[in-house]
Structure 1
Amino acid sequence: MERPVCLIENHEDGTIQVNQAALKILSGFTKKVVVVAIVGKYRTGKSYLMNKLAGQKNGFSLGSTVQSMTKGIWMWCVPHPVTPDHTLVLLDTEGLGDVEKGNSQNDSWIFALAVLLSSTLVYNSMGTIDQQAMEQLHYVTELTEKIKVKSSEQDGDFSDDSSEFKRFFPSFIWCVRDFTLQLQLNGKEITQDEYLRNALKLRPGLSPQVRNYNLPRECLLHYFHSHKCFVFDRPASKTDLQNLDNVVESQLDPAFVQQTRKFCKYVFENSPVKTLSGGYTMTGRGLGDVAVSYVESIRSGSIPSMENAVVALAKIENSRAVEDAVSKYEEMMTQYGSKFPTETHEEFLSLDKECYAEALKVFMKLSFKDENQEYQFKLGEQLQHKKAAYQQKNEETSERRCRVLLQELSAGLENRIKEGKFSVPGGYKMFLAEKKSLEADYLKAKGKGVKSLEVLQEFLKEKENVESTILIADKSLEEKEKKLAEQRSQAEAAARDKEILEKANVELQKNLENEQESYKMHVEMLQKKMSEESEKMKKENEWLIQEKLQEQQEMLSAGFKKQCDMLEEEIKHLREQNKKSPSLLGEILDILPGGAFGKFLKKVLL
């Protein structure tokens, strides 16, 4: 992208919607995305930092007046400067607290969407981190009213699910602009991160004043992770600030320039890939899909649910995974189509198995949260149909080639039949000899394919009437000889029918063995994927346990026993989750559907 585009449009009537042009752009980014969003009061220099992250002097509108320039959420996708296989998605939000806005509720929604869409959230403020700065961050205290983890409360349980926010929420960076204080505490120098940690310390007590003081701090500690702080000197004189788009770096304060570089370096090296619960990493396409899900919830008057967004995205991505996997199978089979007809049925099954394996790999890579393995089985059944279609194509190709070959080999025979060459004494033996010679030449020919015997039998049956006529007309043969010849011909035809039947039974058995091998391979891949997803969830839970232990320490130092006990319960629940190690095969058997694919798969597994 050469320039940013608006992703979330914020209209004057207070409604918001996703820009379709931006969605089309996002759909083209198939790499994993690192999403950095910046929020803060208007006219605090947010856009400048985002332009630096994009590696450009301008792009996001800076403006030079007290009027907010950015409306809605603007997006800029650029190559990740550190990780080539990632895309860096920058989201610049409109300024919070703009006096010209007619609807202050939009500030809360813009803030909530920035949180939901980003993997790193940058909060930009002026001056110092004091109580006033915390009060300006009241949007964070409203997140439980704007965002839900679960889609609905079950069994009358209306308990707060914000304990799960940290699993979904981004890392947090606080950028303090025009910072003029000394980084000292109790006479000792401190780091920028220590400055933030000290500002986030909770006060003991239960008075309304203490609760108001603690609330935004609790939310920051409780909802976000990896708290980081950068303080910036004033970048330039007031005159230069009004023309920051055109000011060269040498005219800016060196300390500000150096700190900006440190900020960018930290973001590039530490901002995580945008993930959903369970460790599913998102692409640009997925980011666009969840943006639509969240905005549609807001427009409908409901509260965006992270669970609903994940479910909606899973349906979209799993459907695409099935399509892409089937396309992979078709692509490979089409390439192998030049080998049709295969000489044997086993050769065809070998091609099918190879294509099936590659299709499964595509599906396993792209799918996620396939509850009840619904899309696994859709894929299995579609691949069954595709296999049957290509098997038919292979057989039809063989039939055509065999018929053309027989037509060429029998041309002379057909002419002599028409000319009556065999309607003479001894003609039957001459006909029989030519027929045997034709059969031998046909059987020696290569490239006939899997329907060779069937087409030959069909050809010979078509000649039975001619053969019978020649036999009856041959006056050199006794009636007894004719009878024996007729019996011999019938026995040969019966032997060929038997051979064809045995061949069909062998092919049927080979088909069953092939399906069994394919489904076992399917289950092995499924078990591996479920095991990997289980390990991801365990790692995520372990990380969350450590985060909650840190929260617990903060609460303990402030004397909040009730909150400590609640955190202890959450930690206990997470540890119990990680102790569970159910049989993956048992899980698969429990969720198999009752269709043909599911029944066969159960039979294979058991």
Structure 2
Amino acid sequence: MALMESPVCLIENTNGKLQVDQDAISFLMGLSQPVVVVAVVGLYRTGKSYLMNKLAGKKNGFALGATIQSKTKGIWMWALPHPTKPGHTLVLLDTEGLGDVEKGDQTNNAWIFSLAILLSSTLVYNSRGTIDYQALENLQYPFVNSPSPIGDQYVTELTERIKVKSSSSASAEEIEDGADAQFVQFFPSFVWAVRDFTLELELDGRKVNEDQYLEHALSLRKGKDRKTLNYNLPRECIRNYFPSRRCFVFVTPASPENMPRLESMDERDLNPLFLNVTSSFCHYIVEESSVKTVKGGLPVTGRMLGHLVKTYVETIAKGDVPCLDNAVLAMVQIENEAAVRDGLTVYQDGMKDLAFPVGIDEISKQHRQWDNLATKAFMSRSFKDEDGKYLKDLVEAITKHYSALLTENEEASERYCRQLLTDLSAPMAGKLQQGFYAKPGGYELYCGDHDNIVAQFRCQPNKGVKAEEVLEQFLKEKSVESNSILQADNKLTDQEKKIHEEKERAALLEQERKAAEEKRLEMERTLQEERQSQKEKIRMMQDKMEEEMKKQWEESERAIECKLLEQRDLLEKGFKEKADILNEEIRELREKSSSASSEEKQRTAMLEQEKRNETERLQQAEKMLKDQEECHQETMRQLKV
């Protein structure tokens, strides 16, 4: 991958308007590797950029700033080779601090936060002090517009920022059901980084670790009064939508007077406890952060991430809500059309080195090789080509190009063979013009030169696929000339002339048979190629389909497992009513997983039917070829009789 020396602005936030940076998008479009995307969010001036620089393995890069003024506007990106996953790219996203008083319009807080969720595979929430009511309110804010939402209203507010299904594809019940269980399938892993932590990690007199501290802070209270509902609301939001959670608490790294120059300080001058936690945090993020996926569990490449960024930001700019389904559908079309182009380019580049004319064996061998490689190139980039539409587009494009190459090869073969026969027969034409054969015994001399031309022509290599057909036409053209010389040769008796005529007629018939055989072999080879190509493509489609369905199943299973763990915790703490709600979500996820299995069976059945249709078509073509051959043989038999 190209080296990104320093962070670049990915999404600009200018005067309350979000727009993508085209240079950053162009960089992403050049990345074909899967991406692990880590985004950091939180209040401004809380040290988010420092953590991102540490993840990058650099001392500086993302602007830290040493004043109360926020340095990061919009979302900045730093793409680096993943330190422990070869062939992967680590994409770090540093977001604009929430709650910046200079922005005035706080609506952007919600969109920045939503974009961080939509684009990342791991979300780091950075806060200061402790995980208290205010910290939870700050995290809740981007999703909740009303200052004091009641009950489950926060779910409705969340669906006003992110939608899984478009209104056209979702049923009325799915639109009404804000607590869409599918959210957990694409929400990133959640890591809470608590900065400048000064308390002891103790609960009821016993030592606890950071994760236990977080889970304690997210514990729910029993009751249905307004105060309890408001208390539980932000905690339920985090528990429902971030089931995979980790926590790291950082002590203050340096004395207050040294904090403004944190970027330039030597690590030896920083608090060792702070460095230890920073090291653990970086190790966890690098080792445990997964590849970014889209709905269906499909891995995202840098190029696909670029498409997602553009789609989401353009949607927000239009005043609409980002929708997972719409984004994936748009990406499916863009990527699959590009996959068709990639496959066709592989085929065209591979076949352009052929020097015409070539024999049918050679052009067939090259066609099979590059057709197979083109299909593999297509499969490596395509995804969710559920009805095989784009693979069919590739097949049609390759078939059209191959047909043009066959025509070009035939034309080159015909030109070459005609020129070769012209050159070989030039001395004979000179003799004919000089009257060399117009004498007794001239026909025998003519036949000797004629047979010598045919023998030289047959010995010439690399004549291509039209050799026998062109030779047939040449012999027919010469037959009038030959018969004229035969009749003029008074050395031969009428009986001898009749024998020679029959002999020449038999030679013409034999040459016609060879030309027909040449054409039949070419058609037979073409059918054989189609049969083999169809078999290989269907196998690749089945493998691709199974791979995609496996990822979709794994995605559903991960979501179900997370919900089961949350349900178990709620039951243990006596929240049966809330556990029952989760049970309904688990049921929905299982139904969707079962539905995915049914879709897989339908797609398999579709492939099998397509295989049968193609086999039937090839069988019909083979029968037609056989009928033509029998008809030709009958014609030849009658001519001989």
Q: Is the 8 A contact 1:46 1:92 kept in 2?
A: yes
Amino acid at match of 2:41: V
Give the CA deviation at 1:39: 0.4
Kindly report which structure 2 residues correspond to 1:522-601, keeping only aligned pairs within 5 A, or say none.
522-578=537-593, 581-582=597-598, 587-588=603-604, 590=606, 600=614
Residue in 2 aligned with 1:2? 5
The alpha carbon displacement at 1:124 in A equals 0.3
Match of 1:130 among 106, 121, 132: 132
| Higher mean C-alpha deviation, range 476-485 or range 417-426 | 476-485
Q: 1:559: how far off?
A: 4.2
User: How far apart, in 2, do the equivalents of 1:438 and 1:499 lie?
Assistant: 17
Alignment partner, residue 273 of structure 2:
255
Bigger mean CA deviation after superposition, 354-363 or 467-476:
467-476
Question: What is the CA-CA distance between 1:69 and the residue it aligns to?
Answer: 1.0
| RMSD of aligned residue pairs (Cα, Å) | 2.4
1:320-364 alpha-carbon deviations (Å, 9 max, x no partner): 1111111112222234x14x5443x24432332222221121112
Aligned to 1:449: 464
Distance 1:585 1:329 in 2: 32
> Bigger CA drift: 221-230 or 294-303?
221-230
What is aligned with 1:195? Answer: 213
- SS of equivalent residue, structure 1 residue 537: helix
SS in 2 for 1:566: helix
Moved more, 510-519 or 163-172: 510-519
Residue of structure 1 equivalent to 2:485: 470
Q: After superposing the two structures, state which structure 1 stretch, 362-371 or 485-494, moved more.
A: 485-494
Partner of 1:507: 522
Instruction: Measure how far apart 1:558 and its partner are.
Output: 5.0
Q: Structure 2 vs 1, CA of residues 259 and 312 (structure 1 numbering), >3 Å: closer, same or farther?
A: same
Deviation at 1:106, TM superposition (A): 0.5
Q: CA deviation at 1:542?
A: 1.5
User: What's the counterpart of residue 411 of structure 1?
Assistant: 426
Query: Percent same amino acid at aligned positions?
Result: 47
User: Is 2:172 the partner of 1:156?
Assistant: yes
Residues in 2 aligned to 1:605 and 1:506: alpha-carbon distance in whole angstroms: 16
Partner Cα separation in structure 2 for residue 601 and residue 386 of structure 1: 22
Does residue 388 of structure 2 align to residue 373 of structure 1?
yes
Q: TM-score, normalised by structure 1?
A: 0.93
Corresponding residue to 1:117 among 116, 119, 127: 119
- 1:98 matched to which residue of 2? 100
Q: For residues 584 and 247 of structure 1, do their structure 2 counterparts lie closer, same or farther at Cα, with a shift above 3 Å needed?
A: closer
Q: Which amino acid aligns with 2:26?
A: K
Read off the aligned partner of 1:109 and give its amino acid letter.
W
Cα offset, 1:188, TM superposition: 0.6
Letter in 2 for 1:502: E
1:222–1:605 CA distance, 2 compared to 1 (3 A): farther
**1:380-428 CA distance string (max 9 Å, x none):** 2112112212222333343343334323422322222232212222222
Contact 1:167–1:277 under 8 Å retained in 2:
yes
The more displaced of 529-538 and 556-565 is: 556-565
- Is this contact kept in 2: 1:170–1:225, CA < 8 A? no
Within 5 Å, give how 1:333-412 maps onto structure 2.
333-335=351-353, 337-338=354-355, 340-343=356-359, 345-412=360-427
Task: Name the stretch that deviates more: 496-505 or 24-33.
Answer: 496-505
How has the CA–CA distance of structure 1 residues 155 and 188 changed in structure 2, closer, same or farther, with 3 Å as cutoff? closer
Q: Distance in 1 between matches of 2:562 and 2:165?
A: 21
Per the alignment, residue 148 of structure 2 pairs with none
Of residues 286-295 and 488-497 in structure 1, the stretch that sits farther from structure 2 once superposed is 488-497
Distance 1:583 1:149 in 2: 19
1:179 and 2:197 aligned: yes
- Which moves more between the two structures, 469-478 or 48-57? 469-478
The answer to whether the 8 A contact 2:295-2:324 is kept is no
AA at the equivalent of 2:109: D
**What letter corresponds to residue 248 of structure 1 in structure 2?**
D
Asked if 1:295 corresponds to 2:309, the answer is no
The whole-number CA distance in structure 1 between the counterparts of 2:346 and 2:179 is 41
The answer to whether the 8 A contact 1:527-1:585 is kept is: no
> Are positions 1:41 and 2:61 aligned together?
no
Given residue 228 of structure 2, which amino acid in structure 1 is its aligned partner?
Answer: V
**CA distance in 2 between partners of 1:585 and 1:195 (Å):** 46
Could you say which residue in structure 1 is the equivalent of 2:229?
211
State the shift of 1:291 in Å: 0.5
Equivalent residue letter for 1:504: K
Q: Distance in 2 between matches of 1:560 and 1:302?
A: 37
Cα distance per residue 1:474-503 (max 9 Å; x no partner): 333345544554444334223322332233
Of 373-382 and 69-78, more deviation after overlay is shown by 373-382
Partner of 1:27: 29
Q: How many residues align?
A: 600
Structure-2 separation of matches of 1:224 and 1:454: 73
Q: CA deviation digits over 1:354-382, x for unaligned, max 9?
A: 22221121112211111322111111211
Q: CA deviation at 1:585?
A: 7.4
Normalising by structure 2, we get a TM-score of 0.88
One-letter code of the match for 2:6? R
In the alignment, the residues of structure 1 paired with residue 267 and residue 90 of structure 2 have an alpha-carbon distance, to the nearest angstrom, of 24
d(CA) in 2 for partners of 1:135, 1:583: 42
After superposition, give the CA deviation of every residue in 1:60-86 in whole Å (9 maximum; x if it has no partner).
111111111111001111111112211
Q: Secondary structure at the match of 1:179?
A: coil
Deviation of the 1:144 alpha carbon: 2.2
Q: Do the aligned residues in 1 keep the contact of 2:10 with 2:20 (CA within 8 Å)?
A: yes
Distance 2:291 2:87 in 1: 11
**Alignment match, 1:146:** 161
Distance 1:585 1:510 in 2: 34
Written as runs of structure 1 = structure 2, the 5 A alignment for 1:410-449 is 410-449=425-464
Which residue pairs with 1:11 in the alignment?
14
Q: What secondary structure sits across from 2:44 in the alignment? A: coil
Q: Provide the C-alpha distance between the structure 2 equivalents of 1:107 and 1:2, rounded to a whole number of angstroms.
A: 28
Find 1:82's aligned residue among 84, 108, 113. 84
| Unaligned residue ranges in structure 1 (runs of 5+) | none
Can you list the C-alpha shifts for 1:77-100, whole angstroms capped at 9, x where unaligned? 111111221111111111100111
Match of 1:68 in 2: 70
